[in-house]
Amino acid sequence: MAGSGRLALRTLPGSGWVRGSCPAVLSRLQDAAVVRPGFLSKGEEETLSRELEPELRRRRYEYDHWDALSVQAIHGFRETEKSRWSEASRAILQRVQSAAFGPGQTLLSPVHVLDLEPRGYIKPHVDSVKFCGATIAGLSLLSPSVMRLVHTQEPGQWLELLLEPGSLYILRGVARYDFSHEILRDEESFFGERRIPRGRRISVICRSLPEATGPGQPPPAC
């Protein structure tokens, strides 16, 4: 019966927004790779995009650029590091901080804003452990997209995150250190069988600062 089928689907861990190579990967990453659809209200989405648009519009889209912060290759993007926000946006960022970060975590400042054009995409990478600590949290605006995570040692282990406008994703611990992440280009933008057409997408990314793990010790699992 269609009804009971849907019910069974709903009881799988995170099945609406997170797909995985197998149930074991899904349950292992349940708290490490999290999607919160509808984290932003429509009004909050508008507040952020209205504030970001004029700053982004001043810049040109770039191609095949290696970003020092996240050691990544991004194609078709422009970006800004923003430290001054309106009061309304500060309240939103504060909500992100309480939802994604622990009380002991300090956030990297300024906040990273990335604007991908419709054909823009982010190739697989792990954010640099020099600049970024255990937690990455991103808000998505304008277009839906698919983020794919692939285990750096075991490529058969993967997750797909469906990032709708207004959603928040959180990558922490294993998901941040042991899996690469990428934003799929339009031609490859599928969540399972479901085609997710890509338009222009803006993300607002908060990162924790690397934590000192003891004198001279490297961060864990890098």
Neighbours of 163 (CB within 10 A): 25
* Least Cβ distance, residue 127 to ligand OGA (angstroms): 5
Which residues touch 33 (CB under 8 Å, ≥6 apart)? 18, 149, 159, 161, 169, 170, 171, 175, 179
Of 25 and 122, nearer to Mn ion (C-beta) is 122
Kindly give the interhelix angle for 42-57 and 87-100, rounded to the nearest 10 degrees.
110
The 37-76 site mask, x for binding Mn ion (CB under 5 A), equals: ---------------------------------x------
Contact flag: residue 127 with Mn ion (CB under 5 A) = yes
**Residues near ligand OGA, by CB under 6 A:** 70, 72, 114, 122, 127, 138, 181, 183, 203, 205
What is the distance between the alpha carbons of residues 65 and 132, in angstroms, rounded to a whole number?
A: 19
Of 162 and 183, nearer to Mn ion (C-beta) is 183
Residue 172's binding partner, choosing from ligand OGA, Mn ion, none, with beta-carbon cut-off 5 to 8 A by kind? none
* Least Cβ distance, residue 67 to ligand OGA (angstroms): 7
Of 8 and 118, nearer to ligand OGA (C-beta) is 118
Q: Is 94 helix (H, G, I), strand (E, B) or coil?
A: helix
Of 64 and 87, nearer to ligand OGA (C-beta) is 64
Identify the DSSP state of 209.
P
Radius of gyration of the chain (CA): 17
The Cα-based distances of 140 to 25, 113, 120, 221 in angstroms read 24, 10, 14, 27
Residue 135's binding partner, choosing from ligand OGA, Mn ion, none, with beta-carbon cut-off 5 to 8 A by kind? none
Which residues lie near Mn ion (CB under 5 A)?
A: 70, 127
